[in-house]
Amino acid sequence: MRPLLLPACVLFFLGSCAAQAPSSRPELRVLFIGNSLTYVNDLPAITVELARADGAVSLETATVAYPNYSLDDHLIRGEAARRIAEGGWDVVVLQQGPSALPLSRVALIAAAQQFAVLCAAAGARVALYSVWPPSSQPETLDQVTASYAAAADSIGGLLLPAGWAWHLAWRQDPSLPLYGPDGFHPSPYGSYLAALVIYRGLTGRSLTGLPDALTIGGVVVNIPPGQAATMQAAATQVLP
């Protein structure tokens, strides 16, 4: 069983990120750059719904995401860079695969640094949306989180540790169906928890009492209130 506590270096970084988290603002424009771990269940739309329900932030999002894309792939394609250069973004959220392997960590850090230059020119902050490993490799979660923390640290960015929030939620309720059928992509529950982390990290808002029923793309996602509360607590714990 994996330990409950994050590695010391990641705990230190999380604490510093929490202190730097932006305060609530009337309007927040966020560009998501990633792959299917972002667009499955429309994570940005769930985050917008949370903001609408909270009523404290007017959140607008856009997404550049393609299947199996790394951040290097996005740099080569060029679309993400063009969207950043349009300007008007407050935060750009970056995501790729788990990146637990040493070479993957190096690539994640290097790509994040290149994106940071683009974002600085456009006046946007950078956040790293830290994901989770496949269900067949739970022992690599420490490495996944450390890779994203290192990338965020290298650019002074914000860490959004969704994968670690999954872990904490499971510690309280192992029955939570966070994975989808393939054991890697998120279920609607998993995306809901990731969106809670992202909303908390971007706004610093309390998650307590946010709705457990959301309409995404015309589909109503209902989460039992007790499980929603468990996930809200987990997301708060990783970003106190």
Q: Quick one: pLDDT at residue 218?
A: 75
Q: Quick one: pLDDT at residue 4?
A: 34
Burial environment of residue 14 by CB neighbours within 10 A (0 to 12, 13 to 18, 19 or more): buried
* CB-CB contact of 200 with 236 (8 Å): yes
* CB-CB contact of 6 with 14 (8 Å): yes
Q: Quick one: pLDDT at residue 26?
A: 62
What are 89-110's pLDDT values in tens digits? 999 999 999 999 999 999 999 9
> Can you tell me whether residue 137 is helix, strand or coil?
coil
Q: Quick one: pLDDT at residue 216?
A: 73
Q: In one letter, which amino acid is 193?
A: L
pLDDT > 90? residue 119: yes
What are 168-223's pLDDT values in tens digits? 999 999 999 999 999 999 999 999 999 999 999 999 999 999 999 888 767 788 89
Q: Show the domains of the chain with their CATH numbers.
A: 23-238 (3.40.50.1110)
Tally Cβ neighbours within 10 Å of residue 213.
12
Confidence of residue 88 (pLDDT cuts 50, 70, 90): very high
Distances (CA, A) of 199 to 38, 179, 204, 232: 14, 20, 8, 11
pLDDT > 60? residue 129: yes
Mean pLDDT (the chain, rounded): 91
